[in-house]
Structure 1
Amino acid sequence: MEAAASSDVRIRNVLGRLEMILDNENERIGVDPSFDLKMSNARKSRCLYELTMLHRNAPLDEISPSFIDQTKHIRVKLMANSQKVNAQMEACRSVVDILKTVAKNAEADGIYSQEQFCYGNF
């Protein structure tokens, strides 16, 4: 019984930590230019790994209902987080595409592009 209580405390701690990470990330992504998305993602991954390890041998019918409710709440935050991360990644892709176009245009002298100046065309 004591092992189960210890496991419950660890699960509750990991779920709480995951929720704090998600709240922080959801609040700062796309707003705070100094926000380290890579580090935040590593922390999320670590929490999810810990949860997997804590639940790996536990039958579903032995999971506390309070964990199920908390997990559902976290799932909603994860879905919002996924949308924000996807939007951030799409914005980064757009910026990279713009920079590539600008760099390509800057390399051209206005007469020939690299594609037009091939020896095979002579």
Structure 2
Amino acid sequence: MYDMTSAANSEKAALAMNQHGGASALAIMRRIEETIDAETDAIRNNPGFDIKASNARKSRHLYELTRALKGANEAGLANAHRDALERLRDKLAVNEETIRAHMSAVNDVADLLQEAIERAQTDGTYSEREFGQASPA
């Protein structure tokens, strides 16, 4: 038997869930923005920055955001969260540029170290000519 009261209560609960999911999603998006800003700043200014730990935080936030949005009214969320999503997208683009620049710098340093090691190994100490001139014992 269909109960109109329980149907109305179900609709109210669904609306509340969507609204709560939306508010929760906004809070999570703000935390993601803060994490992204902190990571971008740290990559630029702190050579000892732990990027692995930062990636773990970002993954945890993404998981929280996914859970907060699960079952939410997508059309309503898209309109209500458009500014937050655009701001987050812009911050992620800056963060990506910073990470790419950091990785490029790391590669440059690795290349310099590799070249220095190769030069040190070819300084004549262990050259084929040196071994060829050695007298057998």
Q: What range is the shorter-chain TM-score in?
A: 0.7 to 0.9
| Pair 1:34 & 2:48 matched | yes
Larger CA deviation: 105-114 vs 64-73 = 105-114
Q: CA deviation at 1:86?
A: 0.4
SS in structure 1 at match of 2:47: coil
- What is the rounded CA distance, in whole Å, between the counterparts of 2:78 and 2:112 in structure 1? 50
Which runs of no fewer than 5 residues in structure 2 stay unpaired? Answer: 1-14, 132-137
Computing the radius of gyration over CA atoms, which structure comes out larger, 1 or 2?
2
TM-score (norm 1): 0.78
SS in structure 2 at match of 1:110: coil
Larger CA deviation: 88-97 vs 98-107 = 98-107
Which runs of no fewer than 5 residues in structure 1 stay unpaired? Answer: 118-122
Contact 2:32–2:61 under 8 Å retained in 1: yes
CA displacement 1:44-73 (0-9 Å, x = unmatched)? 222223323333444531315231110101
- What is the rounded CA distance, in whole Å, between the counterparts of 1:97 and 1:29 in structure 2? 20
Partner of 1:2: 16
Contact 2:28–2:64 under 8 Å retained in 1: yes
Kindly provide the amino acid, as one letter, of the partner of residue 29 in structure 1: I
TM-score (norm 2): 0.71
CA displacement 1:94-121 (0-9 Å, x = unmatched)? 111111111121122327768xx9xxxx
- The count of corresponding residues between Structure 1 and Structure 2 is 115
SS in structure 1 at match of 2:44: coil
Over the matched positions of the two proteins, sequence identity in percent amounts to: 34
Alignment of 1:26-105 (within 5 A): 26-63=40-77, 65-105=79-119
Cα RMSD over matched residues? 2.3
